[in-house]
Structure 1
């Protein structure tokens, strides 16, 4: 019996089982112990293969692929700390709902806790963060193939969101020519190999029931709070709220077109908060809100009913309102709860929103970070998509911009970390094949600098704007101690990214005016490949501009 051949056949069953659940993208990092999984994936024609040398970036690449494809994405890594590097992407997927299947190769049990090289305790390594975990045994013909495939089917069939961790121990030898070992074991699955259906079909339906009293509540004064959703859902939500005559507070990830822009500014105004207090019901569609003032209002509002609709399970409401937690795709929920045409009831808020937008436009003319956020719409590629980084950049766009209705916007706003942002954006581009604009800060770019290697393989124009404000200027918005702020919070690195772009053979531009940025963006959208555009701005100007606008809008 050839151990290496049976390892391959065992792995082939695992990979083939994944195809029956919609897995098309497989992300692979180099490694020896993962050889059976890697070769099985390479031989399976159903897969699109992606490779990267950095497992942390690989996990985020898979996350971006899953965001766009809305299908599970598989990741293959070798044993040891390679596994641990998947943790950040796994955590993010658990909070935002993307399905990741982490296939982690492992040493067999006799090599654990005995000083063997690259052997760590991998089962349970991710604690409670995976939605499900499977610790497979060492491959053996004593276990029927039907057990292996049905185990995977059951886990995937009941995976509503988040990650599935499958730990796969393999004994040596790992290499060798494939012989007939295990052929009969595989053939016990019969015509399953020629079908495209799972061996075991698990049905799990989590949708909440239709709210029978909706006809009553839709006649009341309501507010729609729009969080993260798809572009198509964003358009539907905007139309739904307009028909009801309810004010819509749209997050940067809502893709609703933000009919009342600058919500994070005008919610600082007492007149707006007073008017919103008249609402009898708040319907929040989608989670992951960004704006600080939006979150403060969401925390303190006290309507008669607070409904939160999101396809993810869990409470998703840090304010713990009295109301209803409704698990449903947003478009399906809207179909079941149609709007009734009514006149708008809020009068002050549209005026305040318009005044805040006009004030922002008047004061966002110089060349800087806040100004870029305000005018970001004019740099979006036609029929393309936007990926927004975390920390200050997403807050500025959320507060100061007005994005087009139904224009795809992506971000990592689950754990809101700065790790893996460029890798995730690369995955978003690969899954869609669309022109992509990504915006991150300088520390975020440094944190994921390896991912510039992934941008060498983009299939359409890709622009990465690195806003270089020399450090974590998000902390300029927080009451961090002035004496320790620079050394322990901002951490300025005093770097520029021209050499990084050159190292990975990316086009590079550093515009110093709007005219130069306009020209650089125009040229980038006409050329295939990736362009890194570095926007060097004064350190704290963006945070200061936001603070100044907040003060002015609060007194309108």
Structure 2
């Protein structure tokens, strides 16, 4: 067996096992050293290949695809700095628990550290940002090495999927010649265990009965409990958590990424306007819980984080099926390693019916007062970021997916996107909270979910303009709303805004860009609106369009800041007046 035949058999065995393990999508960035892997993957009829020249955008594209599908996406690139460009998305995948299989081609060992071109140290390149790293052996065609390749493939997929999900890195040293031998009739036929070399069964992490009874007994002693749900992605979680809340009569703090603000589940216990009313000291004192149960990542809201710190003496149960340590405030008293749905379902029969609904009613009252006050945002006749997110609840069609940029957009979703029954899935890159790769992530998710909408700021849009190429190449439908306040709007809300001398140059960072030519270059349609009527009309037109549509909504940073402050002040006055019994 010559080198080309051995290379082909080895990589074909690896690829075949990936498919057996459930992989369906590969994002390839073109390069020379990865030639044999790319060509063999292209040969497999059950793999969908997506070619993306820009490695940074490619990685976020794969991230969005994996996040939306909950299935590992493969990333493939050549050696050298191509692999380094994957780093931001890998960090995001690790922190947000998204399964990725990162395959980097590399120089063989004899060409390392000797000045060979396009060579850098790729061993453990991503450090602790991946769940598992393996330096693959040089390709060989022996029976034992084909077993090795298949076993590693199966193990890599299982590791990426095992809770907490995350990225896995496989580094392939490859010698020339790099072109595989594709003359065989079917290079993927595996005579030994043709239906997959190794099947890996994964179950849900669970507690034993004694552990569950102990938790149930403690919760039965607390009538004024609070359930907190941050970002969590579990298809059956909404029904499980609302049933638990109904038994305990606890209100549910529902972060927009908890997927609890939209759907066909019960909304009686779901509180969505907490970020506004917890800015009021009277409300904070009025709503103090005696126990907290938390699921998922920490909520976005800073007001809620401060509320937690003011109740640091309260027992706090953090339920995490990924066995992580999601406790940035260092307030957890009980870390519970159990699948979140399993926890709710198993605990339910052990709990007593809580007949005392007074605490729940306090939270519900604050929520209704706040929402009624926030509805004033619709009176703003000029274009505003606050009203936009209020309007989105009505504008988005049932079953849509909304991808949200970081900085102010995700915070405005938290404040103004109220409960609804439209089954809208809200997504964002909240692992590392970066503004990089958001367009690419949304487009990757758009290969799985339709219709897909993206709302982001002008800096975030600029940061990933290269990502728009995926829409043009693969005819991915994406409707984008760019909130253009000509700079970094979130900094106006931060302490440095009170130091104007260098603020605009260091933090405001106005770009003064016209995005229309860039959108046109990528084959999209562009509109710039100046009224709410124009926005509604442009949005409705996107419903009938295919491909890329971008709507620019010009806003002003100073007016946005003032509008938020006016709303917060008005809500605070209404809450204090209500709590003091004033009419």
Both structures adopt the same fold (TM-score exceeding 0.5): yes
Q: Which residue of 1 aligns with 2:137?
A: 137
The C-alpha deviation readout for 1:28-54, integer Å capped at 9, x for no partner, is 111111111111211112212212111
Q: Which residue of 2 aligns with 1:532?
A: 550
Kept in 2, the 8 Å contact 1:207–1:327? The answer is yes
> Within 1, Cα distance between the matches of 2:536 and 2:191?
61
Q: Which residue of 2 aligns with 1:223?
A: 226
SS of the residue 2:213 aligns to: coil
1:102: how far off?
A: 0.3
SS of the residue 1:528 aligns to: coil
1:344: how far off?
A: 2.1
1:551: how far off?
A: 2.9
1:232: how far off?
A: 4.3
**Structure 1, 204-213 or 384-393: larger mean CA deviation:** 204-213
Q: Which residue of 2 aligns with 1:244?
A: 248
Kept in 1, the 8 Å contact 2:28–2:50? The answer is yes
The answer to whether 1:350 aligns with 2:385 is: no
CA RMSD of aligned residues (A): 2.4
Instruction: Pick closer, same or farther for the CA change 1:348–1:206 going to 2, 3 Å.
Output: closer
1:468: how far off?
A: 0.6
> Within 2, Cα distance between the matches of 1:554 and 1:533?
34
The answer to whether 1:495 aligns with 2:513 is: yes
Q: Which residue of 1 aligns with 2:22?
A: 22
Kept in 2, the 8 Å contact 1:260–1:354? The answer is no
Kept in 1, the 8 Å contact 2:204–2:342? The answer is no
Instruction: Pick closer, same or farther for the CA change 1:472–1:514 going to 2, 3 Å.
Output: same
1:297: how far off?
A: 1.7
Q: Which residue of 2 aligns with 1:334?
A: 344
Match of 2:258 among 235, 244, 254: 254
> Within 2, Cα distance between the matches of 1:326 and 1:101?
29
SS of the residue 2:447 aligns to: helix
> Within 1, Cα distance between the matches of 2:236 and 2:520?
38
SS of the residue 2:93 aligns to: helix
Kept in 1, the 8 Å contact 2:36–2:180? The answer is no
1:486: how far off?
A: 0.8
1:458: how far off?
A: 6.2
1:123: how far off?
A: 0.8
Q: Which residue of 1 aligns with 2:564?
A: 546
1:177: how far off?
A: 4.5
Q: Which residue of 2 aligns with 1:105?
A: 105
1:99: how far off?
A: 0.7
> Within 1, Cα distance between the matches of 2:246 and 2:505?
48
> Within 2, Cα distance between the matches of 1:39 and 1:299?
55
Instruction: Pick closer, same or farther for the CA change 1:439–1:365 going to 2, 3 Å.
Output: same
Q: Which residue of 2 aligns with 1:414?
A: 431
The C-alpha deviation readout for 1:239-289, integer Å capped at 9, x for no partner, is 532443212211111121273232111011123222332x22211121141
TM-score (ref. length: structure 2):
0.88
**Structure 1, 298-307 or 160-169: larger mean CA deviation:** 298-307
Q: Which residue of 1 aligns with 2:287?
A: 276
1:164: how far off?
A: 0.5
> Within 1, Cα distance between the matches of 2:203 and 2:157?
10
TM-score (ref. length: structure 1):
0.93
Q: Which residue of 2 aligns with 1:381?
A: 397
Q: Which residue of 2 aligns with 1:361?
A: 375
> Within 2, Cα distance between the matches of 1:26 and 1:192?
24
Instruction: Pick closer, same or farther for the CA change 1:437–1:24 going to 2, 3 Å.
Output: same
1:324: how far off?
A: 2.3
Q: Which residue of 1 aligns with 2:88?
A: 88
SS of the residue 2:62 aligns to: helix
The C-alpha deviation readout for 1:266-324, integer Å capped at 9, x for no partner, is 011123222332x2221112114111101222333235421112332311111222422
Kept in 1, the 8 Å contact 2:399–2:451? The answer is yes
Kept in 2, the 8 Å contact 1:158–1:202? The answer is no
> Within 2, Cα distance between the matches of 1:101 and 1:84?
15
Q: Which residue of 1 aligns with 2:124?
A: 124
> Within 1, Cα distance between the matches of 2:325 and 2:535?
43
SS of the residue 1:249 aligns to: strand
> Within 2, Cα distance between the matches of 1:248 and 1:131?
32
> Within 2, Cα distance between the matches of 1:325 and 1:20?
36
**Structure 1, 35-44 or 351-360: larger mean CA deviation:** 351-360
The answer to whether 1:462 aligns with 2:478 is: yes
SS of the residue 2:127 aligns to: coil
1:415: how far off?
A: 0.5
**Structure 1, 300-309 or 395-404: larger mean CA deviation:** 300-309
SS of the residue 1:201 aligns to: coil
Instruction: Pick closer, same or farther for the CA change 1:368–1:304 going to 2, 3 Å.
Output: closer
SS of the residue 1:199 aligns to: coil
1:411: how far off?
A: 0.6
Gaps of at least 5 residues in structure 2 are 262-266, 576-583
Q: Which residue of 2 aligns with 1:163?
A: 167
The answer to whether 1:173 aligns with 2:190 is: no
The answer to whether 1:11 aligns with 2:11 is: yes
> Within 2, Cα distance between the matches of 1:471 and 1:464?
18
